[in-house]
Amino acid sequence: LITRAFRSQFVIPDFQDFIKDVEEMYWAAKSNSDGKVASYIPQLARASAENWGVSVCTIDGQRFSIGDVNVPFTLQSCSKPLTYAMALETLGPDVVHKYVGTEPSGRNFNELVLDYNMKPHNPMINAGAILVCSLLKTLDRPEMTLAEKFDYVMSFFSRLAGNEPLGFNNAVFLSEREAADRNYALGFYMREHKCYPEKTNFRECMDFYFQCCSMEANCDIMSIMAATLANGGICPITDEKVLRPDSVRNVLSLMHSCGMYDYSGQFAFKVGLPAKSGVSGAMLIVVPNVMGICTWSPPLDPLGNSCRGLQFCDDMIKRFNFHKY
Ligand code: DON
């Protein structure tokens, strides 16, 4: 980092100027009072609508954070690109995509629907993520108990985040599992259609999915994960090669087409960047070869995306030419 600084070789050379823009965009979005905090479980409903944080980590490790960036939130659907990345890395894309498709569903994230092959449409919606969890549980180191698998996945996520420790919210986990009629319906529907690998333990696989949704991180940590994805799978903080470039390409492609719920097409059109949102109000945004961003603000629009997060992205695309096209 220091050598690059002396040579002025940073990917964003005028980082201080960039920070000024980020601050302006942050304050502009802060006054946005649109949206409603997710309320399908009481633990999420308690989140404060006021919370708003933005963290940036460039591929050469320059970092900036503003707002509530150290307050923990559960990963929720932001875990989906991470479990998918891990499955690609350990099992390879051919195995993973024998079981799950690569097509936007055009429907809600938890809708009871499979594609024309009777597979889940993609790994970024609930059905696909439950399936990816079954692959990780059943095919990758099948000898591991559920407890060992939990540790194994958590430490993989942590490596994506420069070895920052992740947390786990047991109250959210327990109530996710209690309030999971739709997810169980999806799970059983896929079992009916023989979507899982042989020997899948259905209950364990569902629990594993709820556990992944209930892991905790904050903006600061998640921006490093996004930066690892922006940097071809090499974590900019530790320089560890966590993902192969082909895994990163697959993850980013599906974040681009399927990461923002049923707004993904519009987001790809307007913002043109791979991103993934979750019901806790978090958003992972990747500017390939430049930086990773995490925004967090709990109030969601009717499609489930964070209102302030979306405003931040719109604003950023007006100021910088990050849109892929
Ligand atoms: O499984 C669920 O429905 C929630 N735990 C997570 C939903 C979420 O963030 C939306 N996903 N695409």
Q: How far apart are CA 46 and CA 38, in angstroms?
A: 9
Q: How far is the CA of 97 from the centre of ligand 1 (A)?
A: 21
Q: Tokens 């799978």 appear where?
A: 233
Tokens at 297, concatenated: 């603000």
Residue 129 is predicted with a pLDDT of 98
Tell me the pTM.
Answer: 0.96
Task: Give me the residues of the chain with pLDDT under 50, please.
Answer: none
Distance from the alpha carbon of residue 301 to the mean position of ligand 1, in angstroms: 15
Q: Cβ(110) to ligand 1 under 6 A?
A: yes
Best CA proximity match to 133, nearest among 195, 182, 206? 206
Q: Is 215 in the pocket of ligand 1 (CB under 6 A)?
A: no
Q: Is 52 in the pocket of ligand 1 (CB under 6 A)?
A: no
For ligand 1, atom 7, which residue shows the shortest CA distance? 77
Max intra-chain CA distance, the chain: 61
* Beta pairing, strands 291-296 & 282-287: antiparallel
Q: What pLDDT does residue 8 have?
A: 65
Q: Report the alpha-carbon distance of residue 288 to residue 227 in Å, rounded.
A: 8
Q: Give yes or no for residue 74 CB within 6 A of ligand 1.
A: no
Distance in Å from the first CA to the final CA of the chain: 30
Q: pLDDT digit string (tens) for 51-66?
A: 999 999 999 999 999 9
Q: What is the pLDDT of residues 94-142, one digit of tens each?
A: 999 999 999 999 999 999 999 999 999 999 999 999 999 999 999 999 9
Q: Which residue from 40, 77, 216 has its CB within 8 A of the most atoms of ligand 1, so it is best to mutate?
A: 77
Distance 36 CA to ligand 1 centre (A): 16
Distance 11 CA to ligand 1 centre (A): 34
Residues that are catalytic: 77, 80, 209, 261, 279
278 lines ligand 1 (CB under 6 A): yes
The pLDDT score that the predictor gives to residue 44 is 95
Of ligand 1's listed atoms, the one at least distance from the Cα of 109 is 12
Domains and CATH numbers, the chain: 13-319 (3.40.710.10)
Residue 5: the pLDDT is 66
State residue 9's pLDDT score. 80
Residues in the chain: 325
Mean pLDDT, the chain, whole residue set:
96
**92-127 as b/e, with b when 16 or more CB fall inside 10 Å?**
ebeebbebbbbebbeeebbbeebbeeebbbbbbbbb
Q: Does the CB atom of residue 76 touch ligand 1 within 6 A?
A: yes
Closest listed residue to residue 67, CA positions, set 28, 23, 33: 23
- What distance in angstroms lies between residue 189's CA and the mean position of ligand 1's atoms? 17
Instruction: Give the 3-state DSSP-derived string for the chain, with helices as H, strands as E and coil as C.
Output: CHHHHHHCCCCCCCHHHHHHHHHHHHHHHHCCCCCECCCCCHHHHCCCCCCCEEEEEECCCCEEEEECCCCCEECHHHHHHHHHHHHHHHHCHHHHHHHCCCCCCCCCCCCCCCCCCCCCCCCCCHHHHHHHHHHHHHCCCCCCCHHHHHHHHHHHHHHHCCCCCCEECHHHHHHHHHCCHHHHHHHHHHHHCCCCCCCCCHHHHHHHHHHHHCEEECHHHHHHHHHHHHCCCECCCCCCECCCHHHHHHHHHHHHHHCCHHHHHHHHHHCCCCEEECCCCEEEEEECCCEEEEEECCCECCCCCEHHHHHHHHHHHHHCCCCCC
Please report the ipTM that was assigned to this predicted complex.
0.94
